[in-house]
Every structure is written in structure tokens, then in C-alpha cells.
Amino acid sequence: MVAAHLCQVPRQALEVGVRCEIIQSSVILCAHPPLSARSLSVLPRRMNRLAHHEWQGGSQADQNQWRASIKLDILSDIKVVELAHGLAGAFCAKLLADQGASTIKVEPPAWGDPARREPPFIDGVPHPEGSTLFLAFNTNKRGVTLDIEQPAGLELVLRLVADADVLIESYSPGHLDSLGLGYPVLKETNPGVIVTSCTYFGQTGPYRDYQGGDLVAQALGGFLHAVTGSADMPPMGTALEQMEITAARNGVIAIMAALFQRQQSGEGQHIDLSTMEAAISTPSALIHPYTFTGQSPKRGGSDGNVMDGMHIPTADGEVTLTTAGTGGRPMEAWAEFLEEPRLLDPKFATRQSRMDNWEELHSLVATPLAKWNNLDLMRESMARGLVLGLVQSPQQVVDSPHLEERGFFVELDHPDAGSLKYPGPGFFIDGENPMEGGRPAPSLGQHNSEIFGGELGLTSEELGLLRAAQVV
């Protein structure tokens, strides 16, 4: 056994009924046939960091303390370059950056990302460092300025891509190709790079060259027709960028899958991300009922249904009632809680009958609810297993005692905007908020010297010439 090749040890041991494991070095891993050199390029970086925190033994409590002392961001070995000027691309890059990915945001010189000029602004004063939209979508990134349409700018982009794992871009289909930055060139520069192209309609198809927007994606995706608004009124769009946010999350899922696949193949991929298709692919009572049954859902499915979707006023706000949590006996449960026996009338027994008699039902429910304060109502109803939602203002959300105890919000200091409170990503890892200890959105060109000079090796004279030519 001593003379056996190291890779043969587990096989030989198993043949005689002995279980063993090999603790592989980075050299052995890189030489392992199923794994490529490109897919394992990040291993030395991770191993070098771990080597500084080698576990020396001791109790389980000591080991747990040691593990807690070496907070390693999940994506700390992943390098991302962002050439995105839309919300989907920016948010996709932010989600990766918030998990520790080293993310460089590339903006045009002088003007920067158009989001910098979008209101509302801190203190109501228009300023490129004060747009709440930009500040929200660009945390944990470093920022550089670069005119990619100039030859010198093009060269610097390719140098950034050469050492990157992911490139996120949101230009119109074909535009990067015209500049010499199309996917074939990027792949030749770095065979392992994962390029994610964020557009409203995708890289192919008759709509590919159309301009879009979140509301356009909602409309073309069927959202307006069947989801938002009342059945007897024109469709309504949401004021939020729901489809772009959904597209961004789809992009992160695709990128993580591509990174996993690269571990096996060593090859990068081109991800074609469509905001319109993000709207359509979101599971809901929208497209699936039609594709499965041929029946088109109707807008305003909760109209007139007091117990499922209608907002009811209380003493200090509004609540939304549901029939969830009632064990199939919604009116019995609510009649008991509200001390209103008339809710047991058979004409309120089914969803359809409640909708047919919604005005009478509304009056029976609204009267006792008007006496309650929101928080007291939620505590008492939830204690009985009834499900009720408070219609909270942004201030109430931020001041929520539940979110405060969980440490959901984090504060980051921005040199121009001041101390800002940010929501977390919506999950905790080992009890920690991944946003904790992060950094705010970069000011325009904040990291030019650090990245172009320190990491790409440009001299101060070269940087000066690039600034004079308005390349950076």
C-alpha cells in the first residue's frame, strides 16, 4: 500500500474493506483528470487564505469559535466585471457582490451610469452621488470610469475580462460585437468567462432590437392583462421594477449554475437573459392555467372578496384578511374571533358566495375591525392561527421590531450621502446577514487608481494620459 500511487489508495483500501480519504493539496487537485485548470483557478486563492487560519485542535467549542473567526464570503474567489446600465444587470451584479464577489462596475467617464441621475435624491438635491436608486443597486462594488468605445478603453476592458469569472452587460444585441467585444472575442480572451447579457427581449427573435422598460415587460408578458387591476377597469402596472428584479435573480441562478458547470468543463458560457421572459416564466396563476387548460385567467380575482385580498380599515391603518390558517372553516374561525355570529350565514360559506354578497360581508367584518389597532389585531389573530397581513408603510417596515431583532437592516456609511440603512438580501447564512460589514455604492471613478494602477499596472503617467483623452 505504501508504494501505491496516491490516487489508487482509496480504491485499493475499499477492495479490502477499509474506508479512507485523501487530503488533497492544490497540486494534486489541479492534476486530477476530471477537473480542469481553469475551473480550479480559484482554489489556490481560497487555500492560501485558509492556510493563515489553520485549525490546531481542541474542543468542539474552540473549533466553533475558530470557524466563526474566519468569515469567508461565499463568492470571495469570484471576479465580476459589470458593463450594465440597466436595473436588471446592476441588481444581478449587486446580488453577487453582496455575497462577496469582487465586482468592478464600469461606467462612462463624466456622466456615469444613467441611474445616478434618477430621483429621488438624498435631501431632494440632484447629485450623481445622491440618487437613492443608484445607491441601492450598487452596494459592495468597486467603480471605475472607462470609455469602451475608444481603442484604449477597449484594451482595458479586455484586460479586466482576462482575469474575470463573470461579465454582466446590458447593451443592445450586437453593440458589443460592433466594438470588438462580442462573445467570441471575450471567449478567446478568457475561455472560462461567463458572459451574461441582460436585455428586455433577448439576443434573438423579431423583438431583439426593440427598446423596452419594466412596464413594457409586464404588458408583453401578460402581467397587465390578467394580474393587476380590477376586472371592470383598464389594466394597471406596478410602480416597482418587478420584472427587472426577477430577471436579475434569474441571472444570478444562471450564473451560479454556469460556475458549477465550469468546474467540470473548464469552459464559460453565454447567458441570454430576457426581462420579458422573466415575467412569463414566473410561476403564477397566469400563463400556466392557459397553457394547461386553455382557460385565460381574469384580472381582479380578489375583487369583492372580503376574506381574500380586500383591505379593511382599522383604528390606525389597514389589514388584509385571508382564509389561510383556518383549517377549511374560515367563516367559523373569523366569526368566533370577531364575535360576529352573522358570519356563519350559509350565503358566506363559499368563495363565490362571499364574492356575490361581498358588500354585506364587508359591513359585518369592517365594524369590529375598526376598533382594533393594527399590531394588537395581528398578535391576537395570529395567536389563534388566523392569517392576517398589516398594510405597513415604509416607516413601519423599517421600524418593525421583528426585523430589528433579526438584524435584517444594516447601515453603511457613504462619503457623500451619509449613513444609509439597507435591507438585507432576504436570507441569513449561519445566522449572519451577508450585507453586514459591506460597503456603499462607489462614487464615480472612485477606484480608477486602485484597479487600473494597482491591479493592471498602469503608471501614473499612463493614467494621466488616459484622463486627458477622456478614456477614464
Question: Cell numbers at residue 304, please?
Answer: 369583492
Q: What is the DSSP letter of 240?
A: S
The fourth-level CATH superfamily of domain 311-393 is formyl-coa transferase, domain 3 (3.30.1540.10)
**Whole-angstrom Cα distance, residue 69 to residue 307?**
50
Residue from 472, 444, 440 nearest 456 by CA: 472
Query: Cis peptide before 120, with omega less than 30 degrees from 0?
Result: yes
Element spanning 107, H or E: strand 102-107
The arrangement of secondary structure in 79-284+433-468, i.e. its CATH architecture, is 3-Layer(aba) Sandwich (3.40)
DSSP per residue, 153-195: HHHHHHHHHHT-SEEEE-PPTTHHHHHT-SHHHHHHH-TT-EE
Across the strands, what pairs with 121? Answer: 131
Question: Cell numbers at residue 73, please?
Answer: 464570503
Domain boundaries, the chain: 79-284+433-468, 311-393
Q: Strand 409-414 to strand 418-423: parallel, antiparallel, or no bridges (unpaired)?
A: antiparallel
Q: Could you tell me how far CA 117 lies from the centroid of its own chain?
A: 22
- pLDDT value, residue 67: 44
Helices (H) and strands (E) in the chain, counts: 22, 11
Please tell me whether residue 196 adopts helix, strand or coil conformation: strand
Output the tens digit of pLDDT for each of the chain's 472 residues.
334 433 443 334 434 444 343 333 333 333 333 333 444 444 334 434 444 444 445 555 554 544 444 445 789 999 999 999 889 999 999 999 999 999 999 999 988 999 999 999 998 989 999 999 999 999 999 999 999 999 999 999 999 999 999 999 999 999 999 999 999 999 999 999 999 999 999 999 999 999 999 989 988 888 777 777 777 777 777 777 889 999 999 999 999 999 999 999 999 999 999 999 998 887 666 787 788 888 777 776 666 677 777 788 999 999 988 877 777 788 898 899 999 999 999 998 888 888 888 889 999 999 999 999 988 998 898 888 888 888 888 898 999 889 999 999 999 999 999 999 999 988 888 888 888 889 999 999 999 999 999 999 999 999 999 999 999 9
**Whole-angstrom Cα distance, residue 202 to residue 173?**
8
- Any idea how long the chain is? 472
Half-sphere exposure of 103 (CA within 13 A, CB side): 31
Q: What is the DSSP letter of 408?
A: -
**Whole-angstrom Cα distance, residue 200 to residue 88?**
9
**Whole-angstrom Cα distance, residue 119 to residue 297?**
36
Q: What is the residue whose three cell numbers read 484622463?
A: 467
Across the strands, what pairs with 168? Answer: 82, 196
The angle formed by the CA atoms of residues 424, 128 and 413, to the nearest 5 degrees, is: 40
